[in-house]
Amino acid sequence: MKKGVIAKKNFGAWVESLKKEGEVFGPKKRTEQFYYFDKVGDVAELAMDYTSTILPPKKFFVPSKDEVILEFNRKSGEVKAPKPEPAKEIILLGVHACDMQGLLRLDICWREGNPDSTYLARRAKSTMIGVTCNPDENCFCAKVGSNNFREGFDIFLSDLGQGYLAEAFTSKGEKLLALARLEEASMLDEELAYKAKAKCAEAKGAEFLPKVAELPLLCMDGEELAFWKEDVGARCLACGTCTNVCPTCYCFDVQDEVEMDLTKGKRVRSWDSCQLEGFTLVASGEKFMHDQPIRQKHRFYRKFRYLTTKYGGSAFCVGCGRCGRQCTAGISIPETANKLYLGVRAMK
């Protein structure tokens, strides 16, 4: 494993050298409180000490809208699927542990059963460079066990103040780290790096009462609790923001788009949301998830029960806090989890 310290004064030069290896995307500041992942131009624009981005890095692998899955010609009858592989390596710089765990969950969903070649080709042609986090009051990654600073990363950077301790975990990572001016890490650097990583576990963050492992069981026992209907289900405005910003939500809709000549066209997919009223609507008019309490429960259960039991183990909520941070109605996963936990306890 290649390891060393990149001084911050040399960091910009390293990022510049990465641009020759692929398309580099990293966190930038949009307004006072909002950050977003974008193509890195001027290295000075990078905001490596960000808290959370509006959208997670899933947007690079599952585009939010109008991703072309077929191209067709209605006259000639020609139909083809675009080549799945991206032209250039996707280098994501400054990914937090929670978001990396989110992508690892998506990897499972897109790979299991029928592998989705487009998603997997993009992931195969990506390099993940992590960075330690500055958690806020909405974060709870440690509560759901996603403060993992190694799994999935090619390189992980721990902020030491004057520089980053850089660790490469894959051959891809080692190759890129070889481009940096590396200084040998002292034991003090190692300890500072550990401290930077521990911020996630030490963060005050949102209170989260249940243990993550007991959540599938709490879900089983708590299906009928009144708060689904009277509280979160009644407050939810059904806007779908929570699923858009979630690192592990990937449901999509498919539409055909035809050019003005009515001949050439594309079949495109775009993010969909289980929180929208028409999500389960079929042509006969039946809505299988017919009200907001059912849809709210569905989202929560998908994170902690359905996919957890289906794919064996990990929660499909990674504790990034985005849905709570951005919910207009102020609904968050920790709040819902706590209400479920207390509700089930009160039943017994």
Partner 1 sequence: MAEGAKKVSEASLYLPKPATVKKVIPMTEMEMFYQLSLDDGSELGHNPGQFVEVSLYGIGECPISISSSPTQKGIFELCVRKVGKVTEAIHRLKVGDKVGIRGPFGKGFPADKLKGKDLLFIGGGIGMVPLRSFINYSVHNRKDYGRIILLYGARTPKELFPFPEFEDWKAGKNNVELHLTVDRGDDKWKGNVGVITTLIPPLKIDVEKTYAIVCGPPVMYKFVLLALDGKNFKDDHIYLSLERRMKCGVGKCGHCQIHGYYCCQDGPVFHYPLIKGIKEAL
Report yes or no: 187 and 160 within 8 Å, Cβ to Cβ. Answer: no
For residues 248 and 308, the answer to whether their CB atoms sit within 8 Å is no
Query: How many residues at the interface with partner 1, by CB under 8 A?
Result: 64
What is the four-CA torsion angle of 148, 107, 137, 305, rounded to 10 degrees? -100
One of 21, 183, 253, 277 touching partner 1 (CB under 8 A): 253
CA angle 40, 34, 24 (to 5 degrees): 15
Q: Which stretch binds partner 1 (CB under 8 A): 6-14, 230-238, 263-271, 328-336?
A: 263-271
Q: Does the footprint of partner 1 cover residue 77 (CB under 8 A)?
A: yes
Nearest to 59 by CA among 187, 227, 207, 247: 247
Compare residues 117 and 328 and give the one whose CB is closer to partner 1: 117
Query: Between residues 62 and 98, which has the closer beta carbon with respect to partner 1?
Result: 62
Query: Pairing relation of β-strands 79-80 and 67-73?
Result: antiparallel
Other beta carbons within 10 Å of 180: 23
Contact 184, 117 (CB under 8 A): no
* Binding of partner 1 by 328 (CB under 8 A): no
According to the binding rule CB under 8 A, does residue 302 interact with partner 1? Answer: yes
- Strand 126-131, strand 155-159: pairing: parallel
Site mask for partner 1 (CB under 8 A), range 53-72, x = bound: ----------------xx-x
SS3 label, residue 236: coil
* Interface with partner 1 (CB under 8 A), residue from 84, 89, 183, 229: 84
> Which 10-39 positions form the footprint of partner 1 (CB under 8 A)?
none
- Tell me: does residue 255 bind partner 1 (CB under 8 A): yes
Nearer to partner 1, 160 or 176 (CB): 176
Q: In this complex, which beta carbon is closest to partner 1, that of residue 51 or of residue 127?
A: 127
- 81 interacts with partner 1 by CB under 8 A: yes
CA 66 to chain CA centroid, Å, is 19
Encoded one letter per residue, x for contact with partner 1 by CB under 8 A and - for no contact, window 199-228 reads ------------------------x-----
Q: What are phi and psi of 73, to 5 degrees?
A: -125, 115
Q: How many of the other CB atoms lie within 10 Å of CB of 16?
A: 13
Q: What is the torsion angle, in degrees rounded to the nearest 10, for the CA atoms of residue 227, residue 228, residue 231 and residue 233?
A: -170
We find the least distance from the C-beta atom of residue 287 to partner 1, in angstroms, to be 9
Contact between 274 and partner 1 per CB under 8 A: yes
Of 126 and 148, CB closest to partner 1: 126
Contact footprint for partner 1 (CB under 8 A): 69-70, 72, 74, 77, 79-81, 83-85, 107, 109-118, 120-121, 123-124, 126, 128, 152, 154, 170, 223, 250-256, 258, 262, 265, 267, 269, 272, 274, 279-284, 286, 288-289, 294, 298, 301-302, 305-307, 309-310
